[in-house]
Amino acid sequence: MRKNLRFIWLLLNYKFSRMMMYRADFFAAFINDGILFIVQLLAFETIYSQVDTIGGWNRGQMIIFVGTFSIINALNMLIYFFGVVDIPEKIKRGDLDQYLTKPVNPLLRLTFEKINVGSVPLVVMSVLIVCYGVSVTGLKVSFTVGLGYAALVLLMTLLWYDLELILRSVPFLVISAQGIMKMEGQLLELNFKVPGVLYKGIFKILFYFLLPYGIMSTIPSQFLTQSITLPGVLLAVLTVAAFTALALWFWQFGLKHYQSASS
Protein backbone atom coordinates (compact mmCIF):
# COMPACT_ATOMS: atom_id res chain seq x y z
CA MET A 1 0.00 0.00 0.00
CA ARG A 2 2.79 2.44 0.93
CA LYS A 3 4.58 1.66 -2.33
CA ASN A 4 1.42 2.41 -4.34
CA LEU A 5 0.86 5.71 -2.51
CA ARG A 6 4.47 6.71 -3.15
CA PHE A 7 4.04 5.91 -6.84
CA ILE A 8 0.86 8.03 -7.05
CA TRP A 9 2.68 10.91 -5.35
CA LEU A 10 5.52 10.65 -7.88
CA LEU A 11 3.03 10.71 -10.76
CA LEU A 12 1.38 13.81 -9.28
CA ASN A 13 4.71 15.60 -8.87
CA TYR A 14 5.72 14.71 -12.42
CA LYS A 15 2.40 15.92 -13.82
CA PHE A 16 2.53 19.18 -11.86
CA SER A 17 6.14 19.83 -12.90
CA ARG A 18 5.32 19.34 -16.57
CA MET A 19 2.33 21.65 -16.32
CA MET A 20 4.38 24.39 -14.68
CA MET A 21 7.00 24.07 -17.42
CA TYR A 22 4.25 25.15 -19.80
CA ARG A 23 2.44 27.72 -17.68
CA ALA A 24 0.12 28.75 -20.49
CA ASP A 25 -1.26 25.19 -20.65
CA PHE A 26 -1.45 25.09 -16.85
CA PHE A 27 -3.59 28.23 -16.54
CA ALA A 28 -5.56 27.37 -19.68
CA ALA A 29 -6.82 24.25 -17.89
CA PHE A 30 -8.05 26.43 -15.01
CA ILE A 31 -9.76 28.84 -17.42
CA ASN A 32 -11.38 26.09 -19.49
CA ASP A 33 -12.86 24.34 -16.47
CA GLY A 34 -14.02 27.68 -15.08
CA ILE A 35 -15.86 28.44 -18.34
CA LEU A 36 -17.40 24.95 -18.26
CA PHE A 37 -18.62 25.62 -14.73
CA ILE A 38 -20.22 28.95 -15.76
CA VAL A 39 -21.95 27.30 -18.71
CA GLN A 40 -23.38 24.65 -16.36
CA LEU A 41 -24.71 27.36 -14.07
CA LEU A 42 -26.34 29.24 -16.95
CA ALA A 43 -27.96 26.05 -18.22
CA PHE A 44 -29.25 25.35 -14.71
CA GLU A 45 -30.74 28.84 -14.40
CA THR A 46 -32.40 28.52 -17.81
CA ILE A 47 -34.02 25.18 -17.01
CA TYR A 48 -35.05 25.67 -13.38
CA SER A 49 -35.57 29.41 -12.93
CA GLN A 50 -39.34 29.08 -13.47
CA VAL A 51 -39.77 25.76 -11.64
CA ASP A 52 -40.69 25.59 -7.93
CA THR A 53 -40.35 21.84 -7.36
CA ILE A 54 -39.24 18.76 -9.29
CA GLY A 55 -40.30 15.41 -7.88
CA GLY A 56 -40.93 17.06 -4.53
CA TRP A 57 -37.50 18.72 -4.50
CA ASN A 58 -37.46 22.48 -4.04
CA ARG A 59 -35.10 24.90 -5.77
CA GLY A 60 -32.45 24.69 -3.05
CA GLN A 61 -32.37 20.90 -3.26
CA MET A 62 -32.01 21.08 -7.04
CA ILE A 63 -29.09 23.49 -6.66
CA ILE A 64 -27.46 20.98 -4.30
CA PHE A 65 -28.15 18.18 -6.79
CA VAL A 66 -26.53 20.06 -9.69
CA GLY A 67 -23.61 21.17 -7.49
CA THR A 68 -23.07 17.59 -6.31
CA PHE A 69 -22.96 16.35 -9.89
CA SER A 70 -20.46 19.08 -10.69
CA ILE A 71 -18.24 18.02 -7.76
CA ILE A 72 -18.29 14.36 -8.81
CA ASN A 73 -17.64 15.30 -12.44
CA ALA A 74 -14.74 17.56 -11.42
CA LEU A 75 -13.21 14.85 -9.22
CA ASN A 76 -13.60 12.42 -12.10
CA MET A 77 -11.62 14.72 -14.41
CA LEU A 78 -9.12 15.62 -11.71
CA ILE A 79 -8.18 12.10 -10.68
CA TYR A 80 -8.69 9.40 -13.29
CA PHE A 81 -10.79 10.27 -16.36
CA PHE A 82 -7.95 11.19 -18.73
CA GLY A 83 -6.07 8.03 -17.77
CA VAL A 84 -9.00 5.60 -18.02
CA VAL A 85 -10.63 7.05 -21.13
CA ASP A 86 -7.78 5.91 -23.39
CA ILE A 87 -7.82 2.26 -22.28
CA PRO A 88 -9.78 1.02 -25.36
CA GLU A 89 -7.25 2.60 -27.73
CA LYS A 90 -4.33 1.15 -25.75
CA ILE A 91 -5.94 -2.28 -26.03
CA LYS A 92 -6.56 -1.84 -29.76
CA ARG A 93 -3.03 -0.61 -30.56
CA GLY A 94 -1.27 -3.03 -28.23
CA ASP A 95 0.11 -0.14 -26.14
CA LEU A 96 -1.04 -1.95 -23.02
CA ASP A 97 2.09 -4.09 -23.33
CA GLN A 98 4.12 -1.18 -21.97
CA TYR A 99 2.06 -1.24 -18.78
CA LEU A 100 2.04 -4.99 -18.27
CA THR A 101 5.83 -5.29 -18.50
CA LYS A 102 6.53 -2.64 -15.85
CA PRO A 103 6.96 -3.53 -12.13
CA VAL A 104 3.91 -1.43 -11.23
CA ASN A 105 0.25 -2.40 -11.09
CA PRO A 106 -0.92 -1.52 -14.65
CA LEU A 107 -4.38 -0.43 -13.52
CA LEU A 108 -2.88 1.83 -10.86
CA ARG A 109 -0.67 3.53 -13.42
CA LEU A 110 -3.45 3.87 -16.01
CA THR A 111 -5.75 5.37 -13.39
CA PHE A 112 -3.45 8.04 -12.01
CA GLU A 113 -0.93 8.78 -14.76
CA LYS A 114 -2.95 11.69 -16.22
CA ILE A 115 -4.13 13.53 -13.15
CA ASN A 116 -5.58 16.84 -14.31
CA VAL A 117 -4.72 19.55 -11.77
CA GLY A 118 -6.58 22.06 -13.93
CA SER A 119 -9.89 20.68 -12.60
CA VAL A 120 -9.17 21.85 -9.04
CA PRO A 121 -10.96 25.22 -9.51
CA LEU A 122 -14.04 23.39 -10.77
CA VAL A 123 -14.08 21.33 -7.57
CA VAL A 124 -13.87 24.48 -5.45
CA MET A 125 -16.56 26.33 -7.39
CA SER A 126 -18.84 23.28 -7.30
CA VAL A 127 -18.50 23.12 -3.52
CA LEU A 128 -19.51 26.79 -3.38
CA ILE A 129 -22.65 26.01 -5.39
CA VAL A 130 -23.58 23.26 -2.93
CA CYS A 131 -23.05 25.74 -0.08
CA TYR A 132 -25.32 28.17 -1.89
CA GLY A 133 -27.96 25.46 -2.26
CA VAL A 134 -27.75 24.76 1.47
CA SER A 135 -28.24 28.47 2.11
CA VAL A 136 -31.31 28.61 -0.18
CA THR A 137 -32.93 25.66 1.59
CA GLY A 138 -32.19 27.18 5.00
CA LEU A 139 -30.62 23.94 6.24
CA LYS A 140 -28.44 23.78 9.33
CA VAL A 141 -25.76 21.28 8.36
CA SER A 142 -23.82 19.74 11.23
CA PHE A 143 -20.19 18.68 10.96
CA THR A 144 -21.26 15.01 11.02
CA VAL A 145 -23.72 15.48 8.15
CA GLY A 146 -21.12 17.42 6.15
CA LEU A 147 -18.55 14.69 6.71
CA GLY A 148 -21.03 12.01 5.68
CA TYR A 149 -21.90 13.98 2.55
CA ALA A 150 -18.21 14.27 1.62
CA ALA A 151 -17.74 10.52 2.14
CA LEU A 152 -20.73 9.74 -0.09
CA VAL A 153 -19.44 12.08 -2.81
CA LEU A 154 -16.12 10.20 -2.79
CA LEU A 155 -17.97 6.87 -2.90
CA MET A 156 -20.01 8.01 -5.89
CA THR A 157 -16.83 9.20 -7.59
CA LEU A 158 -15.52 5.67 -7.08
CA LEU A 159 -18.76 4.26 -8.52
CA TRP A 160 -18.33 6.39 -11.64
CA TYR A 161 -14.78 5.06 -11.93
CA ASP A 162 -16.09 1.49 -11.61
CA LEU A 163 -18.60 2.00 -14.41
CA GLU A 164 -16.00 3.67 -16.64
CA LEU A 165 -13.55 0.84 -16.04
CA ILE A 166 -16.13 -1.86 -16.76
CA LEU A 167 -17.20 -0.25 -20.04
CA ARG A 168 -13.61 0.39 -21.12
CA SER A 169 -12.64 -3.19 -20.41
CA VAL A 170 -15.21 -4.47 -22.91
CA PRO A 171 -12.72 -3.98 -25.83
CA PHE A 172 -10.67 -6.83 -24.34
CA LEU A 173 -13.45 -9.09 -25.62
CA VAL A 174 -14.86 -7.30 -28.70
CA ILE A 175 -13.37 -5.42 -31.64
CA SER A 176 -15.24 -2.17 -31.04
CA ALA A 177 -17.23 -0.76 -28.14
CA GLN A 178 -18.17 2.60 -29.68
CA GLY A 179 -21.88 1.91 -29.22
CA ILE A 180 -21.37 1.27 -25.52
CA MET A 181 -19.43 4.52 -25.11
CA LYS A 182 -22.21 6.48 -26.80
CA MET A 183 -24.75 4.83 -24.52
CA GLU A 184 -22.65 5.86 -21.52
CA GLY A 185 -22.76 9.49 -22.62
CA GLN A 186 -26.53 9.43 -23.00
CA LEU A 187 -27.05 7.79 -19.61
CA LEU A 188 -24.81 10.32 -17.90
CA GLU A 189 -26.57 13.24 -19.56
CA LEU A 190 -29.95 11.90 -18.44
CA ASN A 191 -29.08 11.00 -14.87
CA PHE A 192 -27.22 14.18 -14.05
CA LYS A 193 -30.16 16.30 -15.18
CA VAL A 194 -32.92 14.24 -13.59
CA PRO A 195 -32.91 13.41 -9.84
CA GLY A 196 -33.12 9.72 -9.13
CA VAL A 197 -36.19 10.30 -6.94
CA LEU A 198 -38.22 10.70 -10.15
CA TYR A 199 -37.60 7.10 -11.22
CA LYS A 200 -40.29 4.54 -10.48
CA GLY A 201 -40.70 0.81 -11.07
CA ILE A 202 -38.42 -0.75 -13.66
CA PHE A 203 -36.57 2.53 -14.23
CA LYS A 204 -35.62 2.72 -10.57
CA ILE A 205 -34.27 -0.85 -10.67
CA LEU A 206 -32.35 -0.02 -13.85
CA PHE A 207 -30.77 3.26 -12.73
CA TYR A 208 -30.30 2.40 -9.06
CA PHE A 209 -28.92 -1.15 -9.29
CA LEU A 210 -28.20 -2.39 -12.83
CA LEU A 211 -26.73 0.84 -14.25
CA PRO A 212 -26.57 2.93 -11.07
CA TYR A 213 -25.98 6.32 -12.65
CA GLY A 214 -29.16 7.47 -10.95
CA ILE A 215 -27.75 7.30 -7.43
CA MET A 216 -24.47 9.17 -8.02
CA SER A 217 -25.70 12.71 -7.44
CA THR A 218 -29.03 11.83 -5.84
CA ILE A 219 -27.88 9.91 -2.75
CA PRO A 220 -25.33 12.49 -1.48
CA SER A 221 -27.87 15.26 -2.12
CA GLN A 222 -30.54 13.39 -0.18
CA PHE A 223 -28.11 12.80 2.67
CA LEU A 224 -27.15 16.47 2.87
CA THR A 225 -30.79 17.54 2.86
CA GLN A 226 -31.61 14.77 5.37
CA SER A 227 -34.26 13.27 3.11
CA ILE A 228 -32.95 9.68 3.01
CA THR A 229 -33.17 6.85 5.49
CA LEU A 230 -30.21 4.91 6.89
CA PRO A 231 -31.18 1.71 4.98
CA GLY A 232 -31.16 3.79 1.77
CA VAL A 233 -27.60 4.96 2.50
CA LEU A 234 -26.43 1.45 3.37
CA LEU A 235 -27.96 0.07 0.16
CA ALA A 236 -26.09 2.70 -1.87
CA VAL A 237 -22.82 1.82 -0.10
CA LEU A 238 -23.36 -1.88 -0.83
CA THR A 239 -24.06 -1.05 -4.47
CA VAL A 240 -20.72 0.77 -4.73
CA ALA A 241 -18.91 -2.12 -3.05
CA ALA A 242 -20.51 -4.62 -5.44
CA PHE A 243 -19.59 -2.60 -8.55
CA THR A 244 -16.03 -2.05 -7.30
CA ALA A 245 -15.59 -5.80 -6.92
CA LEU A 246 -17.18 -6.35 -10.35
CA ALA A 247 -14.95 -3.75 -12.02
CA LEU A 248 -11.74 -5.25 -10.60
CA TRP A 249 -12.84 -8.76 -11.53
CA PHE A 250 -13.82 -7.75 -15.07
CA TRP A 251 -10.50 -5.94 -15.55
CA GLN A 252 -8.59 -9.07 -14.55
CA PHE A 253 -10.86 -11.21 -16.73
CA GLY A 254 -10.18 -8.89 -19.67
CA LEU A 255 -6.41 -9.05 -19.13
CA LYS A 256 -6.55 -12.83 -19.45
CA HIS A 257 -8.06 -12.39 -22.91
CA TYR A 258 -5.76 -9.58 -23.99
CA GLN A 259 -4.02 -10.27 -27.30
CA SER A 260 -0.75 -8.42 -26.87
CA ALA A 261 1.00 -6.78 -29.82
CA SER A 262 3.90 -9.17 -29.38
CA SER A 263 1.79 -12.33 -29.39
Q: What is the mean pLDDT of each run of 10 residues along the chain (263 residues)?
A: 58 56 53 65 67 74 89 90 88 84 84 81 88 90 94 97 94 75 83 85 92 95 93 95 97 86 53
Name the pTM for this structure: 0.85
Amino acid 21: pLDDT: 45
The residues, ordered by sequence, that sit 6+ positions from 217 with a Cβ below 8 Å of its Cβ are 65, 66, 68, 69, 72, 156, 191, 192, 195, 196
C-alpha to C-alpha distances, 153 to 137, 159, 175, nearest whole angstrom: 20, 10, 34
262 inside domain: no
The residues, ordered by sequence, that sit 6+ positions from 130 with a Cβ below 8 Å of its Cβ are 63, 64, 67, 68, 71, 224
24 inside domain: yes
Tell me which residue range forms the domain holding 133.
2-256
166 inside domain: yes
21 inside domain: yes
Amino acid 19: pLDDT: 55
101 inside domain: yes
Number of domains forming the structure of the chain: 1
Which of 43-47's residues contact partners 24+ apart within 8 Å by CB, and which partners? 47/193
Amino acid 149: pLDDT: 97
261 inside domain: no
